[in-house]
Amino acid sequence: MDNHRTRRAALAAAIGTLTMAGVAAVIVAAPPSNAATATLGSAAAAKGRVFAAAVANGHVGEAQYINTFDTEFTGLTPENEMKWDTTEPSRGTFNFAAADNLVSHAQSHSMKIRGHTLVWHSQLAPWVNNITSGTDLLAAMRAHITGVATHFAGKIQYWDVVNEAFDGGSRRQSIFQQLIGDSYIEEAFKAARAADPTAKLCYNDYSTDGVNAKSTAILNMVKDFKARGIPIDCVGFQSHLIVGQVPGDYQANLQRFADAGVDVNITELDVRMPTPASQANLQTQADDYRKVVSACLAVTRCTSITVWGVTDKYSWVPNTFPGQGAALLFDENYAKKPAYNSTLTALGGVVTSASPSVSPSVSPSASNSTSPPPVGGCAVTYDMNAWNTGFTTSVTVKNNGSTAINGWTLAFTLPSGQAVTGAWNATIAPSSGAVTARNMSYNGTIAAGGSQNFGFQATHNGNTAKPTAFTLNGSPCSS
């Protein structure tokens, strides 16, 4: 899946249950006592899993992109660089430059690598679509698999050998299906095993996250392959989801594949929503990510989770689904979203106030210091969305002055019975009473006439009153 392809309609249909109380994790001002679980990758490793991201070679030169990836992830899937149109643009002539660069980077950081993908009806080199003979296409397919998988042999943990071969409960009528027939999938797996005996070989598809006709057809294929000795080691569940629609039987579906004797991998996870993203949808998205991660952890043979991209800035979603996006764990400015916190917490990690990455031009120490009080005043907008035992807030701090603020703290008092349980775009301490929200390393500047926004989730005992006074760097603000 990527932003270069034509996408089909909705990917998941079952409605998930929103559990707001489990959405956000606590952000604390002090470093964690166990720094080994302070990132997605390290927390997943402590659970015996890989937490990976799809990476585009064209973005690795962007410092914030690659720093975020290197800090947070322990696995890499090339987004497009191993697909047929790139690796074998003309018959018998292979090009591995872009893929080699990503593989080398992953190896230098001791990351696991997922090969994606050997046989797929989309992003084929034009010459493949000009083949008219089944015998010739089978020979070309075997040669392609041999050339690519042999080149990367010993470097790949999992190969997506065949991608998206089903359309609902039946075989997709791709060129491979039409010219070769049902046998092409097993022939692809046999060729991949011969080319790379050490990699685990996977079938990968979308809209298979719940128990449905498509996932059942794939399960039946897996059982048939296992019974006949066709080499298949895992099934990938893309999990391109819609906010609030994680299937209720997601875990049960993963488990039935594991029971059939294969590993299960979440391979292209994202959760899209209408944009601009609302605070409510961001919170629902956080719960969706938690559900997916928790399901994987509950299935022993679920060994890896891959999100389809590092940042919303480069997500494939907006180009494919106009008006939708905000599908990943880091926003367009690389800020950690509520879904990041819920994911890390679900993995058993410790959420900290540390920025995911810092632009080389920004000094973390400078951004954590504060300016003098704003000259010209400030204003605070405090929006609350409450339910029976908790609430979320969106707080906007505006600088009404004529000079920029570089580093800010906003002090206010939470009414009795309220306690912060999680925050984004700021650190808040202590959790109740007179609290102080401090900027992160990436949002410490408030331009003259500009504003910054942060938010938090909290519990309450029935008192949903709002704070009555705010001070920005010691100066009272209007509200």
At 261-300, the pLDDT tens digits run: 999 999 999 999 999 999 999 999 999 999 999 999 999 9
Percent of the chain whose predicted confidence (pLDDT) is above 90: 72
The sign one gets for the Cα dihedral 135, 141, 143, 145 is negative
Q: Burial, 68: exposed, middle or buried (Cβ in 10 Å; 0-12, 13-18, 19+)?
A: buried
Say yes or no to pLDDT of 361 above 60: no
Please, which residues bridge with residue 159 across strands? 115, 201
Say yes or no to pLDDT of 196 above 50: yes
Say yes or no to pLDDT of 368 above 50: no
Beta strands across the sheet bearing 451-459: 378-386, 390-399, 451-459, 419-424
Cα–Cα distance for residue pair 245/280, rounded to 1 Å: 14
pLDDT of residue 366: 31
**pLDDT grade, residue 14 (50/70/90)?**
very low
Average pLDDT for 37-57 = 94
Please, which residues bridge with residue 436 across strands? 411, 429
Please, which residues bridge with residue 451 across strands? 398
Say yes or no to pLDDT of 360 above 60: no
Q: Is 332 a catalytic residue?
A: no
Q: Burial, 33: exposed, middle or buried (Cβ in 10 Å; 0-12, 13-18, 19+)?
A: exposed
pLDDT of residue 134: 97
CB-CB contact of 390 with 20 (8 Å): yes
pLDDT of residue 424: 76
Q: What is the pTM of this model?
A: 0.69
Average pLDDT for 134-156 = 98
Looking from the CA of 296 toward its CB, the CA atoms found within 13 Å total 31
- Strands (DSSP E) along 193-237, which ranges? 200-205, 234-237
H-helix or E-strand spanning residue 452: strand 451-459
The sign one gets for the Cα dihedral 344, 325, 100, 204 is positive
Q: State pLDDT tens for residues 291-337.
A: 999 999 999 999 999 999 999 999 999 999 999 999 999 999 999 99
**pLDDT grade, residue 449 (50/70/90)?**
confident
DSSP state of 249: T
**Residue that the structure tokens 């994606």 belong to:** 116
CB-CB contact of 385 with 279 (8 Å): yes
Average pLDDT for 236-247 = 97
Q: What is the mean pLDDT of the chain?
A: 87
**pLDDT grade, residue 448 (50/70/90)?**
confident
Q: At what angle do helices 250-259 and 279-298 cross, to 10 degrees?
A: 20
H-helix or E-strand spanning residue 225: helix 213-228
63-77, 241-255, 425-439: range with lowest mean pLDDT = 425-439
pLDDT of residue 413: 94
pLDDT of residue 2: 47
Say yes or no to pLDDT of 3 above 50: no
158-167, 303-312, 470-479: range with lowest mean pLDDT = 470-479
Q: Give the contacts of 96 (CB within 8 A, at least 6 positions apart).
A: 87, 148, 151
1-5, 309-313, 412-416: range with lowest mean pLDDT = 1-5
Cα–Cα distance for residue pair 469/479, rounded to 1 Å: 7
pLDDT of residue 28: 30
CB-CB contact of 41 with 329 (8 Å): no
Please, which residues bridge with residue 54 across strands? 77
All domains in the chain, ordered by first residue: 33-346 (3.20.20.80), 365-477 (2.60.40.290)
**pLDDT grade, residue 119 (50/70/90)?**
very high
pLDDT of residue 350: 80
Q: What's the Cα-to-Cα distance from 445 to each of 193, 311, 436, rounded to whole Å?
A: 54, 22, 17
Catalytic residue among 81, 164, 186, 187: 164
Q: Give the contacts of 25 (CB within 8 A, at least 6 positions apart).
A: 341, 342, 344, 345, 351, 421, 422
Q: Is 268 a catalytic residue?
A: yes
CB-based burial, 155-189: b 16+ in 10 Å, e otherwise: bbbbbbbbbbbbbeeebeebbbbebbeeebbbbbb
DSSP string covering 308-368, please? S-S-GGG-SHHHHSTTEE--SSB-TT-PBPHHHHHHHHHTT---BS--S---TTS-HHHHT
**pLDDT grade, residue 376 (50/70/90)?**
confident
pLDDT of residue 390: 80
**pLDDT grade, residue 20 (50/70/90)?**
very low
Neighbours of 276 (CB within 10 A): 9
Structure tokens at 378: 């400030």
CB-CB contact of 375 with 334 (8 Å): no
Q: Give the contacts of 346 (CB within 8 A, at least 6 positions apart).
A: 289, 290, 293, 294, 297
Structure tokens at 80: 């497009």
